[in-house]
């Protein structure tokens, strides 16, 4: 039960911090939100993204993907053994690992992706743009 209370408190602090950012105020640190998150929210608002706007997880064009794959080849090769090990470690909990380019484009996916779960299916595709500009604030776009 305390966990629910903590989760509720945390969600309330996040909601308060979001309101402060949407009002153009910057004192989100007191709300327990790291500055980099508030800055990302501000950038997203500046780009015209809206919190209530549905996110489309769009794939980039085939031509753009060829350029991204070529540029990301050393990264994909270096990450291959680590991603394979990670995928094995998290397989039983229905998670998967994705690798993105520096621009936030998915360049590799490891692990069992439950295609019945639309949320997983839309992001676990090579070529999907998960950048802040495309989808807003995410762990991936903030990394």
Encode pLDDT of 57-82 as tens digits: 999 999 999 999 999 999 999 999 99
Tell me which residue of 79, 140, 132, 70 sits closest to 108, measured CA to CA: 79
CB-based burial of residue 126 (10 Å sphere; 0-12 exposed, 13-18 middle, 19+ buried)?
A: middle
Which of these ranges, 45-49, 50-54, 62-66, 75-79, has the smallest mean pLDDT?
50-54
On whether both 78 and 107 belong to a single domain, the answer is yes
Does 54 reside within a domain?
no
The predicted pLDDT at position 30 comes to 57
State yes or no: pLDDT of 4 exceeds 70: no
Assess contact for 59 and 125: CB atoms under 8 A: yes
pLDDT band at 37 (very low <50, low <70, confident <90, very high): confident
On whether both 71 and 40 belong to a single domain, the answer is no
Does 109 reside within a domain?
yes
On whether both 94 and 131 belong to a single domain, the answer is yes
Q: How many domains would you assign to the chain? A: 2
Provide the domain limits for residue 117.
Answer: 62-142
pTM: predicted TM-score of the whole model, two decimal places: 0.82
Share of the chain above pLDDT 90, in %: 50
The predicted pLDDT at position 1 comes to 37
Report how far apart, in Å, the C-alpha atoms of 59 and of each of 23, 64, 72, 96, 134 are. Answer: 32, 10, 16, 19, 10
Q: CA angle, 131 as apex, 128 and 134 as ends, to 5°?
A: 80
Does 57 reside within a domain?
no
Assess contact for 64 and 129: CB atoms under 8 A: no
């Amino acid at each position: 039960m305390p966990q629910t209370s903590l989760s509720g408190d945390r969600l309330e602090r996040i909601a308060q911090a979001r309101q402060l950012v949407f009002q153009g105020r910057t004192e989100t640190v007191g709300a327990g939100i790291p500055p980099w998150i508030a800055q990302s929210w501000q950038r997203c608002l500046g780009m015209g993204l809206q919190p209530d706007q549905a996110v489309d997880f769009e794939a980039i064009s085939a031509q753009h993907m060829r350029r991204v794959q070529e540029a990301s080849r050393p990264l994909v090769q270096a990450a291959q053994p680590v991603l394979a090990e990670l995928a094995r470690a998290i397989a039983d909990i229905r998670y998967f690992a994705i690798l993105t380019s520096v621009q936030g484009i998915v360049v590799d996916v490891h692990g069992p992706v439950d295609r019945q779960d639309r949320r997983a299916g839309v992001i676990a595709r090579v070529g999907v743009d998960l950048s802040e500009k495309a989808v807003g604030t995410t762990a991936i776009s903030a990394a």
